[in-house]
Each structure stands twice: as C-alpha cells, then as structure tokens.
Copies of this chain bind each other. A is one copy, B any other.
Amino acid sequence: MDVAHSGVLEVGIPVACRSCQARHGVVCGVLSSGQLKDLGRHSLRRKVDAGCEIIAQGSESSFYSNIMSGVVKLCKVMPDGRQQIVGLQFAPDFVGRPFVRESTLSAEAATDAEICVFPRSLLDRMISETPELQRSLHDQALKELDAAREWMLTLGRRTAEEKVASLLHLIATHAEPQTATSTAFDLPLSRAEIADFLGLTIETVSRQMTRLRKSGVIRIENFRHIIVPDMDELERMISA
C-alpha cells in the first residue's frame, strides 16, 4: 500500500523510541517537506504487538498515529463488560480524534503493527494551519462515517450468516493480494473479536463459519487463513 498517499512521508532518520521499551523507530513526517523540519524531531515510528492498546477509552491521549502496517480495531466497552468493535483501520489510516481531549473509544492493535506517532499539540496546530491536511483528515472522517453506517445496516438488519459473510468481505477487500475472483487472506481477528464486531457470540460465529465452509463459499486453514474461491458468491450472500 502506498503510504505516501496518506499524507505521511517517511524521512528515515533512525532514533531511539521514547515510548516503547527496547525498540527503535524512525522519524516520519506529515505532508509537505516544508513541514517535515517541524515535525521531524517530534514524531517517531513505533512497533506495537497485537493486543497493545494505543488509546484507552475514557482517557486523554496526548498523541495521534498513522498506521504504517497492520490492523487496528476501535472498540467500545460498556460498564458491565459487553463490548462492540466499531471500526477496523488499516494502513495508511489516521488514528485519533482531532480537537477532542478525551476518547470515547479505545484503539488497539489487532495484529502486530507499525504506527507513526505524533504529539497532539503539534498536529492540532498543523491541522489548523494547513488546509490540505485538514481536507485529508476530513476525507478520512467521511470515509469512516460511511463505513460505520454501512456496518449499522449489518448490525441492525442482517442475519448471522450475512454478518459473517460481510466481515469476510470487508477483510478480503482490505487485505491484498487478490486475483480476479479468488482471494486468500489472514483474518486479523480472533473468533471473539469477530463476535464483538458482529454483535454475535463466538459460538454463532464458529457455526456460521463452518456453514460457509460446508456450502463451499470459503475454505478454512489454520483458523486464521481463509480462501474465497469466488468473491461474487460471497457478495451475493450479503445481498448488497
């Protein structure tokens, strides 16, 4: 995936990583090379393991990130422990909510991932000053809004089988490589996480998965690796 497209340019000066122990990152910057000077010393590339919480729900976070590789899940949990994944983000998405101190959701690496971290104060200022950056973040917000609303339809009106098919379609669409019709990919989510994304239980997810396998829509290897022989067939299941 072309990272430069996202408005993120990698500069490549190796530095010690301040926030994660025993790892090192490289500096990266945002948008125009004129601004790289500003940002250079304040941002860094960082590796995070699967399960690592990038932003905690209800906390104030003092930084933003760009996803360089891997998958990040956005999650809301209720006081009694019920939880719902409200979005998946892939490279080169932006993580964090501009202009607002406290996050209403948590962001957690679903797979091992690399992110590029920026201090909030700096980036907030840059957003106000550079219209292209504002526009690029506005575009991503609108894209995420479309995705969220599409998922509301899935959560509210689709059956368990359609939900699972929708998830597979979503992942397949965002995880290359794919041939013309046949697609293979690794699921970035466990069964429990899939259940939390679809508003189902793990048992139901598992059962629908076997159902799709038995009906020939997908093949499963290693729990995680999925093959979709015919994407059209998968799309037909979603009736969309």
CB contacts (< 8 Å) of A142 on chain B: these are 97-100, 141
A19 within 8 Å of B (CB atoms): no
Are the CB atoms of A99 and B139 closer together than 8 Å?
Answer: yes
Provide the bound-state CA to CA distance between A76 and B147, in Å.
12
Q: Given B104, B139, B151, which contacts A150 in the complex, CB threshold below 8 Å? A: B104
Q: What's the minimum C-beta distance from A232 to chain B, rounded to whole angstroms?
A: 15
Are the CB atoms of A84 and B240 closer together than 8 Å?
Answer: no
Provide the bound-state CA to CA distance between A104 and B196, in Å.
25
Instruction: Identify 7 residue pairs between A and B in the complex whose beta-carbon atoms are under 8 Å apart, listed by A's number.
Output: A78-B157, A82-B157, A86-B153, A104-B149, A138-B138, A156-B196, A156-B199
CB contacts (< 8 Å) of A105 on chain B: these are 149
A198-B145 in contact given A78-B239, A134-B134, A239-B80 (Cβ < 8 Å): no
Are the CB atoms of A76 and B149 closer together than 8 Å?
Answer: yes
Q: Given B78, B82, B84, B149, which contacts A87 in the complex, CB threshold below 8 Å? A: B149
Q: What's the minimum C-beta distance from A10 to chain B, rounded to whole angstroms?
A: 26
CB contacts (< 8 Å) of A157 on chain B: these are 78, 82-84, 199
Provide the bound-state CA to CA distance between A196 and B20, in Å.
46
Are the CB atoms of A149 and B148 closer together than 8 Å?
Answer: yes
Are the CB atoms of A146 and B104 closer together than 8 Å?
Answer: yes
Q: What's the minimum C-beta distance from A105 to chain B, rounded to whole angstroms?
A: 6
Q: What's the minimum C-beta distance from A239 to chain B, rounded to whole angstroms?
A: 6
Provide the bound-state CA to CA distance between A141 and B138, in Å.
8
The A100-140 residues at the B interface (CB cut-off 8 A) are: 100, 104-105, 128, 131, 134-135, 137-139
Are the CB atoms of A86 and B149 closer together than 8 Å?
Answer: yes
Q: Given B131, B137, B153, which contacts A78 in the complex, CB threshold below 8 Å? A: B153
Provide the bound-state CA to CA distance between A84 and B145, in Å.
15
Q: What's the minimum C-beta distance from A196 to chain B, rounded to whole angstroms?
A: 8
Q: What's the minimum C-beta distance from A158 to chain B, rounded to whole angstroms?
A: 8
Provide the bound-state CA to CA distance between A18 and B86, in Å.
42
The A12-69 residues at the B interface (CB cut-off 8 A) are: none
CB contacts (< 8 Å) of A137 on chain B: these are 138
